[in-house]
Amino acid sequence: MQADPTIRTKTRYRGVSYRERADGARSYAVFFKGKYIAQDAAGNRLTSEGAALERQAELRGAKRRGEKPIVATKTTFGELAEQWLEGKSRNLRERTTAYYRDALDRVLLPRFGGRRVASISADDIATLIRDLESEGLHAIDPSRKERALGRSSIENYLKPMQGTMALAVRRRLITSNPFDQLTSDDRPKREAKREAHHWSDDELAALLEGARTVAAKQESRYDYTPLLKLTSELGLRCGEVLGLRWEDFDEKDGYLHVRRQWLRSGEYGDTKTRAGVRSIPLSADQVEALKELRKASTHAFPLSPIFASRAGTPLGHRNVTRRGFEAARDEANLDKELTFHDLRHAAASRMIDSGLDPVTVAGVLGHENANITLGIYAARFNRQSKDEAVRAALGGKS
């Protein structure tokens, strides 16, 4: 006799019943708060007694904790991700919003956009991480070349997903964020940390001479030497040095005020951190160099960039790194792994070797606290103290 699919049959567990389907399979349901619930939190049909009991325990646990139960929903990752970005973008810089938009469009929506939020597991995320590590964006778009991505790139692509899944937890669409279930083996592999480059006086002299040589070439459009020199002396970030305006130069008292940065999006923005807003004391030579630069500039108004293009706008990041730093570096036959950012290390090394304490060095570099400075330059500080101890020991009387 064929089973009646409309009849519910009680099990030995209170509140759990099932119906016989036409194909002989059973569909289970949990009676909770006056209604039958026949789906798990991910919206999947309860096909076993164990699954029904698990759902029942989950519903009762949420009730005890005073929480809303996880609701079975067909909400997709793509739908929720758009809601997350819309809410998040109100408090983000335009460029950060653009980064998140790019991560969604390039990686996350093609991989998970049509999936129900509740169906995405830690294993799914771990698989994506492995794919990006081995194939890069080719794993998402086969038309792209295979190029493995590093840890920082992968983490940046995952940030919108982590935020979206956290929103799903808050809305009780899922019980927990699958990112919290990733093991250290699942997460992107840590890259070998590159030590801060400690510039020698000869290397810096060669770099600046290389910049002057490049500037003297007929095809050259700009002399980046003053910019590279100031950066190597003050440890400014690229966006910070490009964000400097003549109003920031206090010629009388000898200070350079860092108040903003020039963003890659072609607009002024806040410094990287609150500590990035700072006043850096200048030496007499630095004051004179800036005075001479202003005299020679065709854009010397208070709101004009100190390092201005021919049009009077701040120079572009790409031009500074490619045409400025890298061209000078290669002209000087320096290590090709050196980057513009390494010039911050030149300034830090000089300050440390001069005996300045970590707090002072952190203030000049715009670090939020001295622990960040110590984390980057611990070896340099330790070397200095050890060298002083050795000198004192060797200079003692026998």
Q: Cβ–Cβ contacts within 10 Å for residue 106, how many?
A: 15
* Backbone Cα Rg of the chain: 30
Instruction: Express each pLDDT in 154-169 by its tens digit.
Output: 999 999 999 999 999 8
Looking at residue 355, its pLDDT comes to 82
297-322 burial by CB neighbour count: b if 16+ within 10 A, else e?
A: bebeeeebbbbbeeeeebbebeebbe
Instruction: Express each pLDDT in 196-249 by its tens digit.
Output: 778 888 999 999 999 999 999 999 989 999 999 999 999 999 999 999 999 999
Percent of the chain with pLDDT over 90: 55
Please name the residue ranges forming H helices in the chain: 49-64, 77-88, 94-103, 109-112, 122-134, 151-170, 201-215, 225-234, 238-242, 284-296, 317-319, 327-331, 342-353, 358-365, 370-394
Who contacts 30 (Cβ-Cβ below 8 Å, separation ≥6)? Answer: 15, 16, 36, 37, 38, 46, 52, 55, 56, 59
Could you tell me how many helices (H) and strands (E) the chain has, helices first? 15, 9
Looking at residue 130, its pLDDT comes to 95
What domains does the chain contain, in order, with CATH numbers? Answer: 9-64 (no CATH), 77-181 (1.10.150.130), 201-389 (1.10.443.10)
8 A C-beta contact, residue 344 and residue 365: yes
Half-sphere exposure of 317 (CA within 13 A, CB side): 15
109-129 burial by CB neighbour count: b if 16+ within 10 A, else e?
A: bebbeeebbbebebeebbebb
Q: Is 217 helix (H, G, I), strand (E, B) or coil?
A: coil
Looking at residue 272, its pLDDT comes to 85
Instruction: Express each pLDDT in 334-356 by its tens digit.
Output: 999 899 999 988 888 888 888 88
Who contacts 221 (Cβ-Cβ below 8 Å, separation ≥6)? Answer: 310, 323
Instruction: Express each pLDDT in 101-117 by its tens digit.
Output: 999 999 999 999 999 99
Indicate the DSSP class of residue 48. Answer: S
8 A C-beta contact, residue 84 and residue 164: yes
